[in-house]
Amino acid sequence: MGLPPPPPPINAQPVDLGDPTDRRYDLDALRGVAMLLGIVLHAAIPFVPYYGADDTGGKLLFGLFEYIHLWRMPLFFLISGYFTSMLWRRRGLRALVRHRLRRIAAPLAIFYVPVIVLVLAGIVAGYVIADVEAEDTFGQADAYEAPQSDVDQPGDESAEDGSFGFAHLWFLWHLLWLVVAFALMASAHAWWTARGSRGPPAGL
């Protein structure tokens, strides 16, 4: 009995999906709509949840905010996963990792400090312009009968301990870990495929 064939190189193309330059314009349009809805969502934030019990406009804005926030970011992650899988099948794992490091890890590393500085500067500027103390600002929420969002906000856990986490770059941090998980699964898939008919690993 001969030896099993060697595993394919890690950057091999598992499946030929045609011209790599082909674009999915439908998904581009879907991402564009989701980006535009982000403007609507963030424009509604100043009205949520600071409204009175009889403020119909505030309730409508709060409902709009909750509806968009419920599915907009998950949609981005789903589209990213689709393109990640397509890139892996067309160019291989090494090319995928290099691409994601350039498109995700590099922006996160470059803009992390500037974003945190700008967030802190914006908070301080808001206190100075409003001429109020931080305790007074956050205490105003108790004066309203505003429902709280049932959707967990990214970074809530960091807000509890007084830190900012990754602030507005939280999604890049999560995408980076998802790419790591995908790379591990793709490597396991290549290893399992290379085993051929030798059966499952010992102990399984």
The yes-or-no verdict on residue 184 having pLDDT over 90 is: yes
Domain extents for the chain?
26-147+163-192
Residue 63, both tokens: 């409902």
Mean pLDDT of 184-202: 75
Indicate whether 71 pLDDT > 50: yes
Q: Which of 79, 50, 54 is nearest to 175 (CA)?
A: 79
- pLDDT of 75 > 80? The answer is yes
* Phi, psi angle pair for 201, to nearest 5°: -60, 155
pLDDT at 124: 87
pLDDT band at 92 (very low <50, low <70, confident <90, very high): very high
Share of the chain above pLDDT 90, in %: 41
Q: Are 176 and 105 in contact (CB under 8 A)?
A: yes
Across 150-155, average pLDDT: 48
Q: Do 20 and 100 form a contact (C-beta atoms < 8 A)?
A: no
Task: Give the three-class secondary structure for 62.
Answer: helix
Element (H, E) at 111: helix 106-130
Please give the structure tokens belonging to residue 81. Answer: 């996963």
State residue 139's pLDDT score. 44
| Cis amide linkage into residue 49, ω under 30° from 0 | yes
Residue 163 pLDDT greater than 60, yes or no:
no
Is a pLDDT exceeding 80 seen at residue 52? Answer: no
Tokens 């926030």 found at: 69
Query: Which pLDDT value is given to residue 168?
Result: 87
What residue type is assigned to position 196 of the chain?
G
Q: How confident is the model at residue 55 (pLDDT cuts 50, 70, 90)?
A: low
Q: How many helices (H) and strands (E) does the chain have?
A: 7, 0
Neighbours of 168 (CB within 10 A): 14
What is the Cα–Cα distance from 101 to 162, expressed in whole angstroms? 29
CA distance 133 to 191: 59
Of the ranges 38-52, 64-78, 151-165, 184-198, the best mean pLDDT one: 64-78
Distance separating alpha carbons of residues 46 and 61, to the nearest angstrom = 10
Residue 26 pLDDT exceeds 50: yes
Q: What is the pLDDT of residue 21?
A: 54
Whether 131 has a pLDDT exceeding 90, the answer reads no
| pLDDT for position 142 | 42
Q: How confident is the model at residue 198 (pLDDT cuts 50, 70, 90)?
A: low
The answer to whether the CB of 10 falls within 8 A of the CB of 187 is yes
